[in-house]
Structure 1
Amino acid sequence: MKLQLHLGNTVSGDHSLKSLNLMLVFQVNCPGCLSRALPELNQLSLQFPEVNAFAMSTAFENFNLNTEVNTRALVGCGELTLSSKRYFSRLGCNSLPYQIQVPVVMDAFLAEDKLSRLKDGVLGQVDSDSLSPAAKGKLCDILDHRFVPLVRTGRTFINNDLQGTPSWFIFDDQLNVLDSWFGHKEEKWVESVLKSHMAGLMK
């Protein structure tokens, strides 16, 4: 299976692909991503320096919070958003209590002009002359409801049919997916999987 990788703006570091890559797809407003997944990625990047470990910030919900601006604030000064702030405040922290040491890149998003073309394409297939103004308005509302989330959802997230965040991918420089999983796995399992793929590359 090929990874449908759509890279947006770089937030920090160099995420240039290597023969073996470990990518964490996360959201800024995801307490589980920030409390467990990102620290684990930090640790794995130190443990396996030959692996290109990086994080991709995406959005599939809470679109006003899971943004590039908030990603840069998180990486730059540990600034937290709503759900993440609530989680860490219970631990006595007003900001992210560690530094993100891996490169961070944004997921790419569909351009607004492409949304307009998509909507126009659908409307062009309808006999608009046979519709009343009220029916046309309702159809436009339905299209907005369907297409607007496509613009706000990260393309890597949506094109790979991800279940949510955190999502993980191990892949090569040809974007062949070697392993992937959703949620959290035991560190020992992840370490063994990485070691297995590293050994495979050396054959």
Structure 2
Amino acid sequence: MTAEIGQPAPLLSVSDWVQGEPVNFDLLSGRVVLVEVFQVNCPGCFLYALPQAIYLHQHYAEQGLTVLGVATAFEDFDKNNLDNLVRLAESGEVIGETRLALNQRGELSDGCLPYRIPFPLAMDRLNKREDIMTDDVILSFIRARVPDFDQQPDSYRQQIIKQAQRYFQSLSYRAETFERFDLKGTPSHILVDKRGILRDCAFGAYPELETRVLGLLQE
């Protein structure tokens, strides 16, 4: 089942809960649910998305908001894995590009975050990729991400196709929640209303998120 805005949200598919009790949308009826989807090797996730999610948890949990964190992986599988998520949950340790970026900004103490992520954390369910990426699949992937792809010059289209082919060749696993909600990258968020209806899926910075959350809390 692929998620659709305005329809009941499909359940999150996770392999492990490393912090907090196992939970899902079907157990959170009556609450607004924000799922912050991130990779542990993702500087932007830690520079703005996770701090924003922590802020929303701290300010609106008592008003009916549940925030969940799901670590996924669509690249750098040696870093974006369960072991590093456990280290993050237990000690605040960060790795790779995340560590480098936060160190440069003076935001770490001995390689660790100076704060604890306060909401439940889970690892997306990863399955070994065995399917063959056909031309149709690759073109569909590109068209969803490159505006007016078919109207671009042939040389440009061939360049993008080759980049997409290399990207798929580098993938070892499929991340179920990431694909189920058709996410475009990390950080992304999933927003579900009190009735379990999917209201938003967005990739990247989202300054209007607090306003959206407030609106759903008031419904």
| Residue matched to 1:122 | none
SS of match in other structure, 1:161: coil
- What is the CA–CA distance in structure 1 between the aligned matches of 2:14 and 2:72, rounded to whole Å? 10
TM-score with structure 1 length normalisation? 0.74
Whether the 8 Å CA contact 2:183–2:202 is kept in 1: the answer is no
Residue number in structure 1 paired with 2:115: 98
SS of the residue corresponding to residue 112 of structure 2 reads coil
Matched, 1:38 2:44: no
Greater C-alpha Rg: 1
Change in 2 beyond 3 A, CA 1:167/1:89: same
- Aligned partner of 1:130 in structure 2 is none
Please list every run of 5 or more consecutive structure 2 residues that lacks an aligned counterpart in the other structure. Answer: 133-166
Question: Following TM superposition, by how much is the alpha carbon of 1:178 offset from its aligned partner in structure 2, in angstroms?
Answer: 1.0
**Which residue in 1 is equivalent to 2:73?**
59
Aligned residues: 169
State the Cα deviation string for residues 42-97 of structure 1 (Å, max 9, x = none): 11011111211110000011111000100010111111111011112212322223
Kindly state the Cα deviation for residue 15 of structure 1 after the two structures are TM-superposed.
5.4
- What is the rounded CA distance, in whole Å, between the counterparts of 2:119 and 2:96 in structure 1? 23
CA distance in structure 1 between the aligned counterparts of 2:59 and 2:91, rounded to whole angstroms: 25
The 8 Å contact of residues 183 and 201 in structure 2, kept in 1 or not, is answered as: no
Equivalent in the alignment of 2:214:
195
Runs of 4+ in 1 over 6 A off after TM superposition: none
Q: Of Structure 1 and Structure 2, which has the larger fraction of its residues in helix?
A: 1
1:157 is matched with which residue? 178
Question: 5+ residue gaps in structure 1?
Answer: 120-144
Contact 2:19–2:121 (CA<8 Å) still a contact in 1?
yes
Q: How does 1:1-150 map to 2 (within 5 A)?
A: 1=4, 2=7, 3-4=9-10, 5-14=12-21, 16=23, 17=25, 18=28, 19=30, 20-49=32-61, 50-92=64-106, 93=108, 94-110=111-127, 112=128, 149=171
Q: Is the 8 A contact 1:80 1:95 kept in 2?
A: yes
Deviation at 1:197, TM superposition (A): 1.1
Q: How far did 1:154 drift?
A: 1.4
Offset from partner CA, 1:116-163 (integer Å, 9 cap, x none): 6x68xxxxxxxxxxxxxxxxxxxxxxxxx96883x5231111232211
> What is the DSSP-based 3-state SS (H/G/I as helix, E as strand, rest coil) of the residue aligned with 1:158?
helix
1:93-120 alpha-carbon deviations (Å, 9 max, x no partner): 222232111110111122x5xx56x68x
Distance in 2, matches of 1:78 and 1:11, equals: 13
1:170 corresponds, among 176, 191, 194, to 191
